[in-house]
Amino acid sequence: MKRLAALFLLLTIALPAAHAADAKRPFRVGLFPNLTPLTLITLYQPLRHHLEDKLHQPVEMMTAPDFRTFVMRTQDGAYDAVLTAPHLARLAEQDANYVPVATYGETLQALLIVPRDSPFKQLADLRGAKIATPDPLALVDMLGREMLDQAGLARSDYTLVNAHSHNGAALAALSGDSQAAIVGSVPYAQIPEATRRSLRILASSRIVPNQVWLVNARLDADRQRQFVDALLSFAATADGRAFLKSRGCGGIRKLRPGELNALNPFAQEVKKMLGPRG
């Protein structure tokens, strides 16, 4: 009996210690690398502080050097919560045990942009052009190719250049490294106004959902709920409203059941592009 009592005492001491240790472990939030890492981490500091306050846990905002690495890390469950493109969110939901929980109110389009003084007037004029894109895995890249297909251009009629981010693609068009660029409508709104004044939108794609927030299903139901509540409450704060306005996001809302299902073809295209996992 004394040995059992001692064991019980040991367990009652160890359990709070384990909870305390877990509280000290950073809550890892993965941010889709659609902008440069420094831009992303700086942009999301207000949200990081809010999450730390609501979750009572250190929060670490993380990204990756490129889209492929980020998708691989997401698929490997590297993040407790993740903000990613809608087609990649569908892939994470299907294959990586993530639960989609929220999205931004503003929808997303692919924009095909050119310098303001460009001679191009319509998509058909881009035959023979170099077009900068964020990444072949990006949904806006796929939507942009869809627009060019519909304009009657064959894939051999133009050259896509990977600029590794939306702002990188826009800058490539401005610098002359490419004649045009494909970018997302929300990242485009985040480009400094002075830069946007030097650009012109040549065409816009069909509308799709914005970026999606997901939580890792390894978190218990209470922790998932706490994260969603913290995310939604952020939108009601002064910092949150300023953040959402600066990003052109239009608020944060819960995702509707099945809302990502229409993106299955894009998710499967990404899966093929990634190839078999070792």
DSSP state letter for 255: P
Look at residue 18 and tell me whether its pLDDT is greater than 50. no
**Using N-to-C axis directions, what is the helix angle for 238-247 and 221-234, rounded to 10°?**
80
Look at residue 3 and tell me whether its pLDDT is greater than 50. no
Look at residue 10 and tell me whether its pLDDT is greater than 50. no
pLDDT at position 245: 85
Q: pLDDT band for 278, please (50, 70, 90 cuts).
A: low
pLDDT at position 103: 95
pLDDT at position 5: 41
Q: Which residues contact 244 (CB under 8 A, 6 or more apart)?
A: 104, 235, 250, 251, 252
Asked whether the beta carbons of 159 and 127 are under 8 A apart, the reply is no
pLDDT at position 277: 67
Q: Which residues contact 65 (CB under 8 A, 6 or more apart)?
A: 33, 37
Q: pTM above the 0.75 mark? A: yes
233: closest CA among 47, 105, 79, 83?
A: 47
The pLDDT tens digits of the residues spanning 27-73 come to: 999 999 877 788 888 989 999 999 999 999 999 999 999 889 999 99
Q: Which residues contact 81 (CB under 8 A, 6 or more apart)?
A: 27, 28, 29, 30, 213, 214, 215, 216, 227
The pLDDT tens digits of the residues spanning 191-225 come to: 888 999 999 999 999 999 899 999 999 999 999 99
- Distance (Å, whole) CA 184 – CA 141: 9
pLDDT at position 187: 86
Locate 140 and state its tokens. Answer: 């806006």
